[in-house]
C-alpha cells in the first residue's frame, strides 16, 4: 500500500471495528512495511497475499475467491481495480474508492471503465470533489459519493509554541517531480534568513535530483533530506510551517495531519487543495511563481499569525476531516443511509 491509502485503510478499519456489529477483514498484499498492522484494532482480521512479481492477477483471483467464501462479507470496500480485483465475484455488494484523479492515471481509469459494468451492485466513493468531477465524465451512469479521508485526532496533538530563532518548515511526501519540492528549494535560496530550515520527509525516484539541487545551491545547512517516517505525529510538532505545492493530488493526508498539530499551511492553489485549506488556516499560492512562494514564507515569519492560522487549521480538521466523520459517512453508505 502507498502511505496515503495505508493511512486511510487504518483509519477507516479502526472506526468500523469500533461498531460491535461490524466485523472487519482486510485483504492486503504482503510488503516490506508491516508497521501498519500494529496500529489496527485488535479485533480486525488481516489476510495477506504473498507479493509475487508475476501472475498477480491469477494469484489474486484464487485468494480472493477462497477468502470471500470463508468471510462471506455483506459489503466489500476496495481501493484498486487493476491487481486482480476485476475478477472478484460479481454477486457481492461493493464500494469502489477512487484515490486518484483520472487525469493522473488515464489508462487505469480506461481499464476500470471497461470492467465496472460487470459488477451489478457497486457504489463509488471519491475522496474529494475534484476526483468526483473528473470521474463523472468516465462513469456517467454511476452516482459518485464524496467522503473525505479522515485522521485520528487523538493521535495528533496540538503543538506548543516555543521560543526559537529558527523558522522550521517541513514537507512530507513522495519524492517525485510533480511534488515541486525543487521549486521550494530554489525559492529558499533567495530568502536571506540564516535561521530558516527546510526538512523534507519521504522517498522516491526524484530523491537524487533533489539532493543534487541542494548541493548545487549550497543549501546543505538549511535544507535536509530526513528520510521516511511512518509516525508523522512525532515530527510535526517540531516545525512551524507545513508546505506542499504538488499537482495531481486526490486528497493528500499529510496536510490534514499537519493541520491537526496546529501548523499553518502553504499549499498549491490547484485542486483539491481549495477543499482542504482556506484563508483562515493557510496560504494558497501559484506553485510555479517563485515570488509567491517567497512572500508566503515571509508572511509566516510572524509568530502570532502562525499561531492563529494553526488553531483554525486544527479546528477545521475537527469539523471536516476526522476519522469519526469519515467512519460515520461510510457506515451510512454501507447501511444505505447515505444522503
Got the DSSP string for 197-214?
EEEEE---TTHHHHHHHH
Structure-block grid coordinates of residue 304: 502570532
**CA 181 to CA 186: how far, in whole Å?**
9
**CA 234 to CA 314: how far, in whole Å?**
16
Q: Which fold has domain 3-150+322-334?
A: Rossmann fold (3.40.50)
Q: How high does pLDDT run on average in the chain?
A: 92
In the chain, CATH 3.40.50.2000 covers 3-150+322-334, 167-320
Instruction: Check whether 256 has a pLDDT greater than 50.
Output: yes
How far from chain centre, in Å, is Cα 19? 24
Structure-block grid coordinates of residue 224: 535536509
SS3 assignment, position 73: coil
Of 140, 119, 144, give the one whose Cα is nearest residue 129.
144
Of 190, 225, 221, 228, give the one whose Cα is nearest residue 208.
225
Q: Identify the pLDDT of residue 175.
A: 97
Got the DSSP string for 146-178?
E----B-TTTSPPPPP---S-EEEEEES---GG
**CA 157 to CA 168: how far, in whole Å?**
18
**CA 284 to CA 217: how far, in whole Å?**
26
Of 21, 8, 73, give the one whose Cα is nearest residue 47.
73
Run of H or E including 122:
strand 122-126
Average pLDDT over residues 312-334: 95
Note the pLDDT tens digit of each residue in 220-254.
999 999 999 988 999 999 999 999 999 999 999 99
SS3 assignment, position 94: strand
Provide φ and ψ at 76, rounded to 5°: -115, 125
SS3 assignment, position 29: strand
pTM higher than the cut 0.85: yes
Q: What is the CATH architecture assignment of 167-320? A: 3-Layer(aba) Sandwich (3.40)
Give the model's confidence band at 70: pLDDT under 50 very low, under 70 low, under 90 confident, else very high: very high
Give the model's confidence band at 310: pLDDT under 50 very low, under 70 low, under 90 confident, else very high: very high
Amino acid at each position: 500500500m502507498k502511505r496515503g491509502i495505508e493511512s486511510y485503510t487504518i483509519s477507516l478499519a479502526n472506526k468500523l471495528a469500533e461498531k460491535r456489529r461490524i466485523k472487519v477483514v482486510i485483504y492486503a498484499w504482503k510488503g516490506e512495511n508491516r508497521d501498519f498492522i500494529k496500529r489496527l484494532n485488535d479485533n480486525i482480521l488481516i489476510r495477506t497475499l504473498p507479493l509475487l512479481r508475476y501472475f498477480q492477477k491469477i494469484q489474486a483471483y484464487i485468494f480472493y475467491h477462497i477468502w470471500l467464501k470463508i468471510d462471506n462479507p455483506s459489503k466489500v470496500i476496495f481501493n484498486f481495480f487493476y491487481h486482480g480485483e476485476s475478477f472478484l465475484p460479481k454477486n457481492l455488494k461493493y464500494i469502489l474508492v477512487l484515490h486518484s484523479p483520472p487525469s493522473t492515471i488515464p489508462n487505469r481509469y480506461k481499464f476500470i471503465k471497461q470492467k465496472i459494468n460487470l459488477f451489478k451492485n457497486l457504489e463509488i466513493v471519491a475522496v474529494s470533489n475534484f476526483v468526483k468531477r473528473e470521474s463523472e465524465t468516465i462513469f456517467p451512469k454511476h452516482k459518485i459519493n464524496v467522503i473525505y479521508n479522515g485522521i485520528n485526532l487523538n493521535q495528533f496533538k496540538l503543538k506548543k509554541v516555543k521560543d526559537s530563532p529558527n523558522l522550521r518548515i517541513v514537507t512530507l511526501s513522495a519524492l517525485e517531480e510533480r511534488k515541486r519540492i525543487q521549486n521550494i528549494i530554489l525559492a529558499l535560496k533567495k530568502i536571506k534568513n540564516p535561521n530558516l530550515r527546510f526538512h523534507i520527509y519521504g522517498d522516491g525516484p526524484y530523491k537524487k535530483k533533489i539532493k543534487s539541487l541542494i548541493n548545487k545551491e549550497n543549501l546543505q545547512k538549511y535544507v535536509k533530506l530526513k528520510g521516511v517516517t511512518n509516525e508523522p505525529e512525532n515530527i510535526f510538532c517540531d516545525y512551524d510551517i507545513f508546505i506542499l505545492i504538488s499537482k495531481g493530488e486526490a486528497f493528500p493526508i499529510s496536510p490534514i495531519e499537519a493541520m491537526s498539530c496546529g501548523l499553518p499551511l502553504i499549499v498549491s492553489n490547484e485542486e483539491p487543495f481549495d477543499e482542504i485549506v482556506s484563508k483562515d488556516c493557510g496560504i494558497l499560492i501559484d506553485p510555479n511563481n517563485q515570488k509567491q512562494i517567497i512572500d508566503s514564507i515571509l508572511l509566516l515569519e510572524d509568530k502570532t499569525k502562525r499561531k492563529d492560522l494553526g488553531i483554525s487549521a486544527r479546528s477545521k480538521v475537527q469539523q471536516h476531516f476526522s476519522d469519526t466523520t469519515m467512519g460515520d459517512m461510510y457506515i451510512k453508505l454501507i447501511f444505505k443511509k447515505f444522503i
